[in-house]
Amino acid sequence: MNKLKVIFHVSETERLKNAYANINNMLKVENDYAISLLLNGQAASLVTDSPELVELAEKNIDLIVCQNSLNAHAIEHDAILFGIRVTPVGVIELISKQNAGYAYIKP
Q: Which pLDDT tens digit goes with each residue over 17-30?
A: 999 999 999 999 97
pTM above 0.85, yes or no: yes
Strand partners, 103: 6
User: What residue numbers bound the domain in which 34 lies?
Assistant: 4-105
Using DSSP, state whether 1 is helix, strand or coil: coil
pLDDT band at 3 (very low <50, low <70, confident <90, very high): confident
CATH, residue 95: 3.40.1260.10
Sheet holding 103-105, edge to edge: 84-87, 62-66, 33-39, 4-10, 103-105
* Number of domains, the chain: 1
